[in-house]
A = this chain, B = another copy of it.
Amino acid sequence: MSNFEALFDYIQEISGKLLSEDDKHLLMAHFKPKKLRKRQYFLQEGDVCKYIGFIVKGSARTFTVDEKGHEHILKLSLENWWLADFESFYLLTPSRFNIEALEDLEVLQSTNAQIEEYLKQIPAFSAMANVISQNYTIANQKRMQAAMSYTAEERYEDLVSNYPQFLQRFPQNMIASYLGLSPETLSRLKKNSFK
């Protein structure tokens, strides 16, 4: 009995439309609750990302491992975010990413085929998808700009003001990796910014 209310609320809020009872039953029929314990993997590099997950509770990171064995975090995800490697999910290609629970994680997951169904059947769902797509495009554009034009310190300040929750929920070395910094550099940077 996972909490579908979080998903319903989210869809209605983002789309600005209401879900009918039929809509809700359709969603409940094919979104499957899944629980992962901290450290468990939602997706492993090399596997196809068959499911997209809606985070009801907990957090996760999406990361790659380079040839030298260094990890790079591309995404940190919290409640009410979607979890997937979209490239693999859309194209059914093996993923280059790992997605790992950073805290005990509850998701509602569904397949691409089923999502396509929802897009056709549920107006609120399709409206939500359009809004999300816009938001992603905007967020990506911003993050890309930040990565290219900002100094490490500016990127950190940006994160502090835009995602203050991250500081509460994720250890500093994860934040560092997300910002493209070594943990040492982030530590020093914070110390210096007090002056």
State the A residues within 8 Å of B (CB): 64, 66, 70, 72, 74, 85-87, 90-91, 96, 133-134, 136-138, 140-145, 147-149, 180
Contacts and interface: CB of A to CB of B under 8 A. Distances in A.
Contacts of A149: 64, 66, 70, 72
A144 B141 contact: no
A22 to B, nearest CB: 23
A79 to B, nearest CB: 21
Given A144-B144, A145-B74, A149-B66, A136 B137 contact: yes
A138 to B, nearest CB: 4
Nearest to A147: B147
Contacts of A147: 144, 147-148, 180
A112 to B, nearest CB: 11
Given A140-B140, A144-B144, A149-B72, A90 B180 contact: no
Given A86-B141, A87-B142, A141-B87, A74 B134 contact: no
What are the 9 closest A-B residue pairs judged by CB atoms, nearest first?
Answer: A140-B140, A72-B149, A133-B133, A87-B138, A148-B180, A147-B147, A86-B137, A72-B148, A90-B134
Nearest to A62: B141
B180 A91 contact: no
A96 B150 CA distance: 14
Given A147-B147, A148-B147, A149-B66, A74 B141 contact: yes
Residue in A142, A145, A148 with the greatest tally of chain B CB atoms within 10 Å: A148
20 contacts: A64-B149, A66-B149, A72-B145, A72-B149, A74-B141, A74-B144, A85-B141, A86-B134, A86-B138, A87-B137, A87-B138, A90-B134, A91-B138, A133-B133, A136-B140, A137-B140, A140-B144, A143-B144, A147-B147, A148-B180
